[in-house]
A and B are shown apart, each in its own frame.
Chain A
């Protein structure tokens, strides 16, 4: 068991690092293919040709693109992501300051998405075919169809403007206080609810599938109550496909965070990346992509390891075929 976990982890991490480098390279060249240029953005409309050339050389943007990439990778291995063309601030420092904010938002969104999604999924499956099931299915269809920025704007209009319960925007540094969390309730809901809808549908489907399996019948025949069967046997088995999807959902959460952070003005990684792309701030975009890809990969490695825990039959490595 332990050996399997270790092997799984090792192979996953190796793939993750390779993936990261490929992602970084693709984004590096793609960014330079999009029209636009950070120096022009910096100088504004009334620029002097000599200033333009000087700044371009200063940021190393006059070098051939291949060479620029080489320089970037070289610095990356020294832990240096360069500094923003826009603000001159160190990309590493800016990202380190913002990563905890985004991670907190994503964790809070997961705290919304997982209990709500899994809970509602179990409930719908339990009440299969009855009005509760239909109502939940309709609600989740809405949840899946509505994008985060729309849900966010609705929440803002209801909770901030109509009922004046929660602040619309604003942010305060981390603290165990209502002041801090009050600013994150709406963003976490906007980010988490659409994900909850997806998880709910999956959980419901997966449970219904498990209900038909022989071991459920066996357990009921043993005299175990329906409730006990559900929670002791069915849910754990039904969770396996759901966990896979939760890994993917974390990817959506990172993407959604870009929009939600912009809407609710949360100084996280997402808002930073979005601004950087609009300003063609190449070093910041590179740093942003690296962080997002890392969060995504780390989440997926965790999910892979969770499988092994949930279902010991799953192995990764040479013994997979046997299992």
Chain B
């Protein structure tokens, strides 16, 4: 029964995938041209398997590499290098049937051995891949024949497909190139099967991708080149966009959007995404080792007002742990806090902490985190709580808060993904990322369990319970959902804004 549901799920997924995302088809697509994309930080590596491809990196590697499966415009899983798949052995094995005749940019053939090579590379501890912990359930990757590869899993794992496209995706590299260049060399000279290949990387300036003439989609991509220009400064970035030096920028600081919306030549797009800004309270240290104090502080924050103050109108406050874009895991009626300063005061009095004082940190990784802390400071003052807000430079924040856990409270930015597990996976006892020191045995049992449940209704129930427990613990709570945006020139056609760290430029073309 379980197996059938999973197979049916897989079938629906692959059916959905037979229709390629085609957007804005009024005019006939034209071949040629250069798309110039502004990015605010430079990738440190373009190896999709050995670094977390967040930020701009994801948008670049997803053009150089293909993944076994990819997203369609609705963020559903559709075929990419695998044309179909079959789930066997009660979900403990997945066979992928691979696309034929695909070649890497270096002319070598893509086959099942290349897939095995890629995942063995993630799983080999010597490579220190940040994805190794994510792929722990993978016991073995077996080449059945050149066109078929089998993943043997320790347990059924419905989130597996999403993990294949986590952030920039598990792009399949050319084994020949990896062996020839070594890990460090490959990071700068990536070789994949994607629609574009890397032709130039000028550190501190730009990354240039040129059309792959042997791409497996005939006559695709339309563009001759995609140039990613590194522009860290927001003024320089918006000016370049407004003067037509850039055609597309992803996830621009939200306070700049109104300025760009006025520009006639630009088309902005804002979507619900998988990102939150969070409020972290250290449950291992006073005063927040008392759950009543944690709950009280969370109740005294007016999250809707906070969201609007920081990200502008339309932003929704949230006190969930899983984004509403993950519709199935996100309960309609959230097990949440409603803004209730009176109740908060009473809780604090019960805990004997009426004149509470604490230090709230924020990192410089994005300016909104400090703005949030300031608003929280003002809101908490209303119930007599004194907040000392300190901004820490990001590296100092990482060391102090994440590693040493030497903090009382902090605002934190963080992204999950279409797979709900990505939000809660570090809620296990000894996980180094459980820096708020959550300690709830039911939660610790449920988190790994949810990962292996195939029955959707049951899985849904577990994720709802996880969020209920999370809210009770009140140590790691969302503040608001952070929308994703894309601003592009009105000449750019066919770009599908996926609210995630991934872009597929195959279908993009430039109007004259």
Contact = CB atoms under 8 A, between A and B. Distances in A.
B128 A36 contact: no
A198 to B, nearest CB: 25
Contacts of A87: 44-45, 187-188, 203
Interface stretch (B65-73, B147-155, B236-244, B379-387): B236-244
Contacts of B237: 169
B204 interface: yes
A213 interface: no
A35 B128 CA distance: 23
A45 interface: yes
Nearest to A47: B432
Interface string B216-239: 000000000000011111011101
A280 B130 CA distance: 19
A46 B433 contact: yes
B334 interface: no
Given A36-B399, A88-B187, A169-B240, A156 B394 contact: no
A45 B204 contact: no
A88 B204 contact: no
Nearest to A263: B233
Interface string A61-100: 0000000000000000000000000111100001001100
A265 B230 contact: yes
Contact of B399 (A35, A50, A153, A267): A35
Nearest to B239: A168
B245 A34 contact: no
Contacts, number: 134
Interface string A246-271: 00000000000000001111111001
B402 to A, nearest CB: 6
B399 A43 contact: no
A8 interface: no
B236 A34 contact: no
Interface stretch (A22-30, A123-131, A157-165, A222-230): A157-165
Nearest to B431: A46
A268 B230 CA distance: 13
Interface string A279-294: 1100000000000000
B256 interface: no
Interface residues of A, number: 50
Given A87-B188, A160-B239, A280-B395, A46 B133 contact: yes
A36 B132 contact: no
Contact of B203 (A167, A168, A267, A278): A267
A119 B186 CA distance: 53
Nearest to B365: A278
A271 to B, nearest CB: 5
Contact of A153 (B132, B235, B433): B235
Nearest to B394: A278
Contacts of B245: 167-170
A148 to B, nearest CB: 12
Contact of A46 (B52, B243, B392): B52
A49 B432 contact: yes
Contact of B132 (A37, A48, A278): A48
B285 interface: no
Contacts of B187: 87-88
A265 B203 contact: no
Interface in B237-258: 237, 239-240, 242-243, 245
A87 B356 CA distance: 45
B128 A51 contact: yes
Size class of the contact patch on chain B? 35 or more
B428 to A, nearest CB: 12
A50 B125 contact: yes
Nearest to B430: A49
A164 B240 CA distance: 11
Nearest to B392: A35
A46 B54 CA distance: 12
Contacts of A169: 229, 231, 236-237, 239-240, 245
Contacts of A265: 204-205, 229-233, 236
Interface in A128-185: 153, 156-157, 160-161, 164, 167-171
A211 interface: no
A55 interface: yes
Contact of B239 (A49, A86, A161, A271): A161
Contacts of B51: 42
Contacts of B432: 47-49, 52
Count chain A CB atoms within 10 A of each CB in B52, B203, B230, B403 and give the residue with the most: B203
A39 B240 CA distance: 34
B44 A86 contact: yes
Contact of A45 (B134, B184, B236, B433): B433
B30 interface: no
A54 interface: yes
A44 interface: yes
Contacts of B203: 87, 89, 94, 97, 267, 272
Contact of A89 (B188, B202, B230, B396): B188
Contacts of A237: none
> Which of B133, B202, B239: most chain A Cβ within 10 A?
B239
Interface string B397-418: 0111011000000000010000
B398 A46 contact: no
A46 B393 contact: no
B135 interface: no
B276 to A, nearest CB: 14
Nearest to A156: B239
A280 B432 CA distance: 21
Contacts of A50: 125
Given A168-B245, A272-B203, 19 more contacts: A34-B396, A35-B395, A36-B394, A37-B398, A40-B399, A51-B125, A51-B128, A55-B128, A86-B44, A160-B243, A161-B239, A168-B239, A169-B245, A263-B235, A265-B231, A265-B233, A267-B205, A278-B394, A280-B395
Interface of A: 34-37, 40-52, 54-55, 86-89, 94, 97-98, 153, 156-157, 160-161, 164, 167-171, 262-268, 271-272, 275, 278-280
The 4 closest A-B pairs by CB, nearest first: A36-B395, A267-B204, A35-B396, A168-B239
30 contacts: A35-B399, A36-B394, A36-B396, A36-B399, A37-B395, A37-B399, A40-B398, A42-B51, A44-B54, A44-B130, A46-B133, A46-B134, A46-B426, A51-B130, A51-B132, A87-B45, A87-B187, A88-B187, A89-B188, A94-B203, A156-B236, A161-B242, A164-B243, A170-B240, A265-B229, A265-B230, A267-B202, A268-B204, A278-B393, A279-B44
